[in-house]
Structure 1
């Protein structure tokens, strides 16, 4: 099976990627957060030299912290180190921009970034508008070894709403969507993706659906609370925040209890926009992807954990992954949000899911 692991880029722990390859993980994505993590491309470049088969890419970058031409160059450079085993994940950004107090990318900006990055990596000469100027751009010396645009770089779009899904359907090879083992939500996203692909005039199945979940293997006697405190921490809240646009657009097709619980958790995490003295964004995001923090526990209910997360015994995990696949997920992805336990979690993914598939 194709299984994707996403973790933050920590420059002194590149051997984590080799460990993931050893247990059978097929794709490794490095998160981007300029104020939070190590640089993903430096991390992935080192990982490329320590691995031989696992596919590597930013998971995900965005159009604003790096303009498309810079992103395309970074990917083409990585593709020279790991020919044919790279992928480019692009999204509107969550932590990368919010942690700097800035807005996320607009869907028009995301769509343009996908078009330009994809075109450059395909060796095209294309037009972009940047700094108020419309100019033609292309890679100028593709045959001298500076970068590799001969081997294909699959394009992944990360989104949580209908507009992003449409961009993926029109231009991408895969769409990454926060999904747990809930048939209702998976079938909704699968149906909307298939419809958008058909409307774009592309063949059925042209765009893979990647279900992005939060992972923890329960030990004997542990419960869902242990999955939070010893595993993914506030991860489920991130899924709530990311998927609010899709949930709002299709409230009539989803469990209203989950929709409301997801909305409340997301808003509580970010802070009330009407609060005259909201928490500072640096304080809000300081703990992101840093494991468990007690302040987050009251925001996370068992219903949210069941809805957005892959957790349980090996048998539970195997059953949940199979359910996700049966409902329309093509690739399963686990986000590992606790830097202290990433290697443990990768080992657990190998023993409880990959080796049993």
Structure 2
């Protein structure tokens, strides 16, 4: 089973990457948020020197906090440290930009960045539009060891809405999508992705689907509420935030109950944009991916936990992980939403899923 661990880059926890590798995890991604986490490339560079087989990449970077030539250089430099085991994960920057009070990247900004980054990584001369000026650019010394563009770098695109999925299908080697152990939702996303891939003139099945979910192994006597308070915290709300656009277009197939529940949780989390007492964006994001913010607990219902999360006993975890791949996903990804329990969760994934898959 190809299994991905994603987590925020915490510079004093680099040892978890080697831990994941030893337990059979195939890919490790480090999140990016300038006000939230440690820098992902520094984290991954050190991790590359402590590992030998695990694939390493961003989960995810974006086209606005780093312009395309910088992104291409950073990932090509990592590829020099970990030849042939590097991937570029990129998206529109939900957390990186919203936490600074800015809008996320537009799809056109993302696709422009993808074209430039992909071209540079392929050793091409490309046109880069920056600050209103178009200039030809290319890596100027690709054979001297500054960076590695000889070993191909797969591109993973994080998609949420229908337009994002459609555009990602043109460029991506893999599409990263928030999904839980629900066959209907996975099947729907797989179908729409394969259609978009075919529309782009690419072979159906050539773009992998990476299902991102949230994890907690229940101990004896624990219930789904413990999964929230001791495990994935506010993580399920992130799945709600990234899926509302897509789900609203497929209410007939998914059912009104789960679509409404997802919408309600996402809107309650973001708050009324016109409210006089709307919390400051820095306060909204201060607890993001640091476990559970108690005020979010009423928003996270069992319905949402069952739909978006990989939780349960060891047998249930294995069954749900296999269900995700059997329903159309090529890889399972757990994003560890609490850095303070990450080592515990990686160990649980290794012994309860990967050792028995």
Structure 2 counterpart of 1:102: 102
Q: How many residue pairs align between the two structures?
A: 357
Report deviation, 1:204.
1.5
Report deviation, 1:274.
2.5
Structure 1 counterpart of 2:116: 116
Matching of residues 152-171 of structure 1 within 5 Å: 152-171=152-171
Question: Secondary structure of 1:290's partner?
Answer: coil
- Are 1:59 and 2:54 counterparts? no
Contact 1:168 1:207 in 2 (8 A): no
Alignment deviations for residues 36-61 of structure 1 (CA, whole Å, 9 cap, x no partner): 11000000000000000001001000
TM-score, normalised via structure 1 length: 0.99
Report deviation, 1:293.
2.0
Structure 2: gaps of 5 or more residues = none
Report deviation, 1:245.
1.2
CA distance in 2 between partners of 1:292 and 1:272 (Å): 21
Structure 1 counterpart of 2:352: 352
Structure 2 counterpart of 1:302: 302
Alignment deviations for residues 195-217 of structure 1 (CA, whole Å, 9 cap, x no partner): 00111111121100000000000
Report deviation, 1:117.
0.8
Structure 2 counterpart of 1:5: 5
Report deviation, 1:180.
0.1
Question: Secondary structure of 1:353's partner?
Answer: helix
Contact 1:216 1:232 in 2 (8 A): yes
Alignment deviations for residues 205-264 of structure 1 (CA, whole Å, 9 cap, x no partner): 110000000000001110000000000000000000011111112122212111111111
- Are 1:274 and 2:266 counterparts? no
Structure 1 counterpart of 2:204: 204
Question: Secondary structure of 1:267's partner?
Answer: helix
Report deviation, 1:128.
1.8
CA distance in 1 between partners of 2:138 and 2:251 (Å): 43
Question: Secondary structure of 2:30's partner?
Answer: strand
Structure 2 counterpart of 1:265: 265
Question: Secondary structure of 1:105's partner?
Answer: coil
Report deviation, 1:322.
1.3
CA distance in 1 between partners of 2:135 and 2:249 (Å): 37
- Are 1:318 and 2:352 counterparts? no
Runs of 4+ displaced beyond 6 Å: none
Moved more, 6-15 or 99-108: 6-15
CA distance in 1 between partners of 2:197 and 2:338 (Å): 35
Matching of residues 148-297 of structure 1 within 5 Å: 148-297=148-297
Moved more, 246-255 or 336-345: 246-255
